[in-house]
Amino acid sequence: MFNFVYPTLDSFGLDISDHSVKLVMIQGIGKRGEAGRLVSYNTFPFEAGLMEGGRVINKEKLASAIREGITKARGQTIKTNAAVIALPEEQCFVRVVQLPPMPEAELFEAVSSETEGNIPLSMDEVYFDWQIITRPDTGTGKGDEHVKHFDVLVAATPKEVVDEYEELLKTAGLLPVVFEPESFAIARAALRSRISYSPLLLVDLGETHTTLTIVSGTTIRVTASVVTAAGSFTELIASAFKVTHTEAEQKKREHGISQEGEGYKIFKVLEAPLSDLIEQIRGYLSFYASHSFHEHQVWTLAVKTPDKTMGTFDFRPVSRGEILVGRDIDPSVALSSHVGAAGISRIFLSGGGANLAGLPEYLSAALKVSVQRADPLVNITAGVAAGHATAPFDPLSYTTAIGLGMRKSKTVL
């Protein structure tokens, strides 16, 4: 989201975590969301202590590891030094703020003031970017009042964090063309054509933390980073069964969690962190249900029915007033109750932790919401080798890197 320099250069995505780096280069992504082709990828771990909590600890050693990983990229040799970088979600603040009607030339100062009231830092300590979601007086649906304010998506990150990453990349000989919160990259990779037809919760189970992102239409509404992490799942299994990290990962994929046999043993080991994850998600769903009435437009597949022509499908934004659940809803009932009734009906899982067998079914039963694994290749038509439709690696663990590799224009998603 932070387009500091040359955002249209041919670039690759670079996802730096506390323990490893993943890179992905995709070609053929168009401004209208045309499918792309994966041409280069790699993942490489580095020694402990170079990154902690999304902060750079040892710039020189980490830069050296990044340079080496790029030279060993699989597929095509990466010849560009332009990179799109994910900023750690725990260091980012992403919110939708509301502003009263005003000339758009005055929005910058208003966004700055409103943002400062929503983050624990002063505005001179952060870099921030923003995008208008809804303008005043755009309500058009029956029974829907005109919107009386701006809805603005804002992302802010401490300057010292961004500056650390910029210095790291320059030391590695790279040109950072875009910095963005990892939630933006995750949403870009997981959503077909970068759109969610209905409000969707993305749960990215990463190595050191879990990112929660609510997307509605073409817009991220709010994000959060929680401490539950896929890496802790693996460590718990390895410790309980006295196996190596690799063997623990294999157990996660082959047996997973279930109510019998080896799967039940694994479930008992992971029961506490899984319960915590459920409570985190449940709280997030409740938060959305109580705040989603601020969304004045959602995206839906509608049908045009001109008087003398056949109906045609049209994907368009419609006002909340046009959306009712069922036939018998009393129009006098508050709109917020309709939204709460609809709420978030789908959850997508991504990140390496999503490979835990049985996890979607377990979460779906506990949350009473449809849960499925995301497909980070939904916008990718071919792999590194010509003719291959899938990538030669675990796509879920590359979700963020794939989304970064898709970032080819100034649009957020």
Region 267-279 average pLDDT? 94
Highest mean pLDDT (candidates 51-55, 152-156, 167-171): 167-171
pLDDT at 406 over 70: yes
Instruction: Judge whether 144 and 321 are in contact, CB under 8 Å.
Output: yes
Question: How high is the pLDDT of residue 290?
Answer: 76
Give me the DSSP letters along 323-368.
--SSS---TTS-HHHHHHHH---EEEEESGGGGSTTHHHHHHHHHT
Count of domains in the chain?
Answer: 1
Residue 227 pLDDT level (bands cut at 50, 70, 90): confident
Residue 116 pLDDT level (bands cut at 50, 70, 90): confident
5 part of a folded domain: no
User: Going by C-beta distance under 8 Å and a sequence separation of 6 or more, which residues neighbour residue 118?
Assistant: 93, 95, 97, 154
d(CA 182, CA 143): 38
CATH code where residue 401 lies: 3.30.420.380
Look at 12 and 333; give whichever has higher pLDDT. 12
Residue 341 pLDDT level (bands cut at 50, 70, 90): very low
Structure tokens belonging to residue 307:
């008087």
For 334, left (φ over 0), alpha (ψ -120 to 50), or beta?
Answer: beta
Residue in 59, 50, 41, 58 with CA at minimum distance from that of residue 20: 50
pLDDT at 337 over 80: no
Question: How high is the pLDDT of residue 348?
Answer: 96
227 part of a folded domain: yes
pLDDT at 30 over 80: no
Question: How high is the pLDDT of residue 321?
Answer: 39
Least confident of 131-135, 166-170, 347-351: 131-135
352 part of a folded domain: yes
Q: How many helices (H) and strands (E) does the chain have?
A: 10, 19
Region 297-301 average pLDDT? 43
Residue in 294, 296, 300 with CA at minimum distance from that of residue 319: 296
413 part of a folded domain: no
User: Going by C-beta distance under 8 Å and a sequence separation of 6 or more, which residues neighbour residue 376?
Assistant: 189, 190, 350, 395, 396, 398, 399, 402, 403
127 part of a folded domain: yes
Quote the pTM value. 0.82
pLDDT at 166 over 90: yes
* Three-state secondary structure call for residue 229: coil
> What is the DSSP-derived secondary structure letter of residue 248?
H
Which residue range forms the structural domain that includes residue 168? Answer: 12-405
274 part of a folded domain: yes
Structure tokens belonging to residue 77:
């040799």
d(CA 255, CA 391): 24
Question: How high is the pLDDT of residue 192?
Answer: 85
Residue in 100, 108, 103, 106 with CA at minimum distance from that of residue 128: 108
Look at 370 and 305; give whichever has higher pLDDT. 370
Structure tokens belonging to residue 222:
């709010």
Residue 344 pLDDT level (bands cut at 50, 70, 90): confident
Least confident of 77-86, 253-262, 263-272, 285-294: 285-294
410 part of a folded domain: no
Look at 280 and 222; give whichever has higher pLDDT. 280
Give alpha helix (H) positions in 223-346. 230-241, 245-254, 261-291, 335-342
Look at 334 and 393; give whichever has higher pLDDT. 393
| Residue whose tokens read 């990962």 | 249
Can you say how many angstroms the Cα of residue 174 is from the centroid of all Cα atoms in its chain? Answer: 24
Residue 373 pLDDT level (bands cut at 50, 70, 90): very high
pLDDT at 332 over 70: no
- pLDDT tens digit string along 53-93? 889 999 999 999 999 999 999 999 999 999 999 998 888 98
Residue in 203, 237, 224 with CA at minimum distance from that of residue 396: 203
- pLDDT tens digit string along 303-313? 333 444 443 43
4 part of a folded domain: no
Average pLDDT, the chain: 80
